[in-house]
Structure 1
Amino acid sequence: MTVAAGTGILKAAARLMVRCALIISFCAAAETFPNAMAQQATDKEIVVAQSGLLRGFNPFSPLQKLFGSKERRRGQPPPQTQQKRRTPSRAAGTPPKIEITPKDPNAGVILVVGDRMARGVADGLEFMFADKPQIRVEKVTEDKAGFAGDTPPEWPTKVLAKIRGADVKAVVVMIGRQDLGKAFPGDPPIEFMTQEWLDTYRKTVEALARVVRQEKKPIVWAGLPPTNTESVNAEFTQLNSIFQSASEDRRVRYVDIWDIFLAEDGSYSSFGPDVDGKNTRLRTGDRIGFTWPGFQKVAFFVDRELLRLLGGYGGLAFEGVEDDPNFIVLTGRTTSPEALLLGGEDDDGEKDRKSTAYRFFVKGDALPPMPGRVDDPRMAVEGTSVLDGVTASGS
């Protein structure tokens, strides 16, 4: 046998051994395929379960080295599936979670009465007084109830029980939205917005106010806001006129919130300045209710009336707020109140627009310079006193 022939036999034998090894490894992989799938490495390498002489032999290793995963080629760990945390949504009119300072046992009570709007105002006041242990807010509210309907709550009875059971300093009322379209019971029923209905509604409002007044407690009655619907605006205006008529008593204050929820041009807008002066959504999607910033804004103006009525409560001293810059921003007032200050609200006479006082206080014109006064830009005349404008004696 020649050397070439021997070499050929050795090569053939080597090829045969390689084929046998491949066949054996594939058979082992087929027998243990389920276990092999369960033992895949985290970096996506394929590992075949083996035993005996073939332990550690991986027939796919060359392919994996050649076509390694992108993560291994880039030196990055395999991607991990991360479950997104769902942030629980909060309803538009729901207040955020607040920490309330424990209240004193003898804390004065601000009692809030009415429907869903009243509850939102109570939440706003509670937020404002959260760190004041001497003030507590309590509610007598039913979200879907008003004065009208088949079985309205006995509001006077409920309020009277609260007043006599706690140290109530004032009563805040906001009600009316749930009365739209509802008749008063009767035979026949008193239909909505008829003259008889309005008269009945007025008597119901006065009955509640009378109970509170008899207990010598002040009332702050918040009016209803403008909406984006003409018919609802007309109905709310009628109800507001009834609420306002109850404020003829000196212990009842009506809070007119209509204009503060309108745009600068007097049209409806769901947005406006919040209590911090930041433009935000104040009204809910139905364009009647309030978002949380909207309730805070109503509570802001209610609190100002409480201060005016009580002079100071819960350790809060009364301060004038009529021309507070925040008051101007929140109401969207763009006109100056100086004309009223000049003549007073009771002065209906025509003002002299050419007078020095009018030009100074209303128009903002500078006063004419006076000889010798510190704002006189002219040179002082020699021998003239800067105090009285008379010729001084020689010195």
Structure 2
Amino acid sequence: MAFKTSLRGLTQMARPSALPLAIALALLASPAEPTGWFQKEAMAEEPIVLAQNNGFRGFNPFAPIQRLFGGGREKKRQAPVQQAPKVVRPAGLPPRFEEVEKDPDAGLILVVGDRMARGVADGLRFTLAQQPKIKVEEITEDREGFAGAEPPEWATRTLSRIRGADVKAVVVMMGWRDRDEEFPGDPSIEYMTAEWLESYRNKVMALVRSVRQEKLPIVWVGLPPTNDELLNGDFTQLNSIFAGAAEERRVRYVDLWDIFLSEDGAYTSFGPDVDGKNTRLRTNDRIAFTWAGYRKVAFFVERELSRLLGGYGGLAFEGVEDDPNFIVLTGRTTSPEGFLLGGEDDAENDTSSTAYRFFVEGEPLAPVSGRVDDPRMIGNDSVSTLIEAGGGDT
């Protein structure tokens, strides 16, 4: 009975702050299996089972003891660190870069073609960003080439742009989007037939003539190798047309084929960039270029432009014409665009002239009697002949 009174007294004296400790001590003092009257009295004491009331749900009677010895403390949850979303730049797009302010009379490089041409324009713009005397603009259609039902009028659009600005050179890269495209007709001209190739060549030559009639140089960029053998065969056919146009019309042709192959001549998506670092140069479709790839293409294009235009220094674009008597001191390493014999087209050259047969066709000049290079003059007879021709003077 004394134990019962003590238990009730502990419960009544417990204040809210000490209530958990009082209950814990009472539970420790109670027998494991109460019997008899104590079992009945204990069952009658409802306040002892306060832990099951709604207000004490999750109550731990040993919490005060655990806190006394440093236990039972809940760890503060750290809020997850919010990371800024990572912006992924498409493989072929350039990063942000600053360009110097261009001179009002800066020369213009005009880039013409499909999606690859746009990548080349971006690469050139990046390469020439710090050159105030040169700027880059483009006429491009990402999904269009020469073939198709309604292809752009490339020659007309290019000529219109040339006459509306101070264009110094034109860069062309096209052909990727011409695969499997027919030429319109009744019936239509099927892809890669002999008639198709001839129609394609006519389109290429029309663009070349429109630029050359303005006395502007052209840099034509060939198509690169791919991982598809059938597509490689198509690209090789188109490259032969581009190279042929360059040979006939004095167009600079940039051959990319070996540049984007591995050392053993196989396709590879990786290779050295313009800084010599091995990196990915081709996109997942193994046709187009990454930004590093376009920069590499632009590197070779810019090299040809520098040779044609004499660099980008003080004399870069100061009226360089197709004049064989005009000497560029800033680095033109090739002959001017005009022919050595004068004239823009082959038709203007007299193919029957002695000069044409000697300089172009390589025919020897007719021997002149009495001259030291006359093959008919041999040994001592040459000396006597010379004396006789000179009136006997030695």
Shorter-chain TM-score above 0.5: yes
Give distance in 1, aligned partners of 2:65 and 2:165. 83
2:262 aligned counterpart, secondary structure:
coil
Q: Residue 295 of structure 1 aligns with which residue?
A: 294
Match of 1:318 among 319, 325, 331: 331
Distance 1:130 1:17, change over 3 A: same
1:295 aligned counterpart, secondary structure:
helix
Kept in 1: contact 2:120–2:297 (CA 8 A): yes
In structure 1, give the amino acid aligned to 2:242. F
Kept in 2: contact 1:217–1:251 (CA 8 A): no
Shift of 1:205: 0.2
Give distance in 1, aligned partners of 2:134 and 2:5. 102
Give a deviation string over 1:302-359, Cα, whole Å, max 9, x none. 01111111122354643879xxxxxxxxxxxxxxxxxxxxxxxxxxxxxxxxxxxxxx
Q: Residue 286 of structure 1 aligns with which residue?
A: 285
Q: Residue 346 of structure 1 aligns with which residue?
A: none
Does 1:11 pair with 2:6?
A: yes
Give the aligned length: 289
In structure 1, give the amino acid aligned to 2:128. F
Question: What TM-score, normalized to structure 2?
Answer: 0.67
Kept in 1: contact 2:124–2:298 (CA 8 A): yes
Does 1:157 pair with 2:156?
A: yes
Give distance in 2, aligned partners of 1:8 and 1:150. 105
Q: Residue 383 of structure 2 aligns with which residue?
A: none
In structure 2, give the amino acid aligned to 1:183. E
Give distance in 1, aligned partners of 2:165 and 2:8. 105
2:195 aligned counterpart, secondary structure:
helix
Structure 2: runs of 5 or more not aligned:
20-46, 317-329, 335-394
Give a deviation string over 1:183-220, Cα, whole Å, max 9, x none. 00000001000000000000100000000001111000
Shift of 1:64: 6.0
Kept in 1: contact 2:63–2:72 (CA 8 A): no
Shift of 1:12: 4.2
Give distance in 1, aligned partners of 2:203 and 2:146. 7
Moved more, 249-258 or 90-99: 249-258
Give distance in 2, aligned partners of 1:59 and 1:68. 12
Give distance in 2, aligned partners of 1:268 and 1:233. 10
The structure whose Rg is larger is 2
Does 1:192 pair with 2:191?
A: yes
Q: Residue 128 of structure 1 aligns with which residue?
A: 127
Kept in 1: contact 2:117–2:174 (CA 8 A): yes
In structure 2, give the amino acid aligned to 1:286. D
Kept in 2: contact 1:255–1:302 (CA 8 A): yes
Give percent identity, aligned residues only: 59
Give a deviation string over 1:151-209, Cα, whole Å, max 9, x none. 00011111111111111110000000000000000000010000000000001000000
Does 1:276 pair with 2:279?
A: no
Distance 1:16 1:127, change over 3 A: same
Shift of 1:11: 3.3
Q: Residue 178 of structure 1 aligns with which residue?
A: 177
Q: Residue 167 of structure 1 aligns with which residue?
A: 166
Q: Residue 381 of structure 1 aligns with which residue?
A: none
Q: Residue 97 of structure 1 aligns with which residue?
A: 96
Structure 1: runs of 5 or more not aligned:
34-45, 49-57, 72-76, 322-395
Kept in 2: contact 1:25–1:59 (CA 8 A): no
